């Protein structure tokens, strides 16, 4: 398996892959092919990786720029964060480690790019194995159920700008493509 950055030539195959992967499953996530295309149009994509197996696109993961806002009563500060969505693996190749490899490779690249925090909506039984936790996202106000909204700190000493120091929760702002 080869994990590499997506190129424009991969886009048609990525779309087919996402449609196939999300055909029946939701897995607690609202990702889909249309979301990926809207994120590209909005230029919100910060990392898009594909997994190639025997020369075919077998998996895809996308990370986009989002923001965490200070409460309105405080000095205005907006801290950058990263949204993980969607991740998809070809149905016939699922449960062979491709999704995990894409997530780990993506997180490693984001760490190298000095990103602070990644947020994901999904199944905790899956995402906790990569270090995501609902506790990390607890100080954030989101439109999602708190038991499926998770965060992962990429740095040992993360910026306090997103964690929240007072009682007020910080709001998350997703790219418009999410339609939230």
Ligand X SMILES: CC(C)(COP(=O)(O)OP(=O)(O)OC[C@H]1O[C@@H](n2cnc3c(N)ncnc32)[C@H](O)[C@@H]1OP(=O)(O)O)[C@@H](O)C(=O)NCCC(=O)NCCS
Our CB check for ligand X shows the closer of 28 and 170 to be: 28
List the one residue from 15, 40, 42, 97 that touches ligand X (CB under 6 A).
Answer: 97
Q: Does 104 bind ligand X (CB under 6 A)?
A: no
Cis peptide before 86, with omega less than 30 degrees from 0? yes
The reply to whether 117 sits near ligand X by the rule CB under 6 A is no
Q: Which position among 14, 21, 137, 177 is part of the footprint of ligand X (CB under 6 A)? A: 21
The site for ligand X, by CB under 6 A, has a size of 21
Mode of pairing for the β-strands spanning 117-121 and 45-53: unpaired
Binding-site member from 106, 122, 151, 175 for ligand X (CB under 6 A): 122
Question: For residue 45, how many other CB atoms are within 10 A of its CB?
Answer: 17
* 131 contributes a contact to ligand X by CB under 6 A: no
* 106 near ligand X (CB under 6 A): no
Strand partners, 50: 4, 60
| Cα–Cα distance for residue pair 107/49, rounded to 1 Å | 11
Nearer to ligand X, 88 or 140 (CB): 88
**Contact between residue 97 and residue 74 where contact means Cβ atoms under 8 Å apart:** no
CB of 73 to ligand X, least distance (A): 34
**Residue 157 contacts residue 135 (beta carbons within 8 Å):** no
Q: Which spans of this chain sit near ligand X (rule: CB under 6 A)?
A: 21-22, 25, 27, 29, 31, 85-89, 94-100, 122-123, 126
């Amino acid at each position: 398996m080869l994990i590499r950055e997506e190129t424009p030539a991969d886009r048609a195959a990525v779309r087919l892959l996402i449609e196939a992967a999300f055909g029946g499953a939701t897995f607690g996530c609202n990702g889909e092919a249309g979301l990926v295309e809207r994120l590209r149009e909005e230029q919100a994509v910060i990392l898009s990786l594909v997994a190639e197996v025997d020369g075919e696109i077998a998996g895809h993961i996308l990370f986009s720029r989002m923001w965490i806002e200070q409460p309105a009563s405080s000095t205005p500060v907006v801290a950058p964060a990263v949204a993980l969505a969607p991740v998809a693996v070809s149905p016939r190749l699922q449960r062979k480690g491709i999704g995990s490899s894409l997530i780990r490779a993506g997180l490693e690249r984001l760490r190298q790019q000095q990103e602070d925090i990644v947020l994901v909506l999904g199944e905790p039984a899956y995402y906790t194995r990569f270090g995501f936790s609902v506790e990390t996202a607890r100080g954030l106000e989101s439109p999602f159920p708190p038991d499926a909204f998770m965060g992962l700190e990429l740095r040992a000493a993360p910026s306090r700008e997103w964690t929240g120091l007072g009682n007020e929760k910080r709001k998350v702002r997703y790219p418009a493509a999410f339609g939230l």
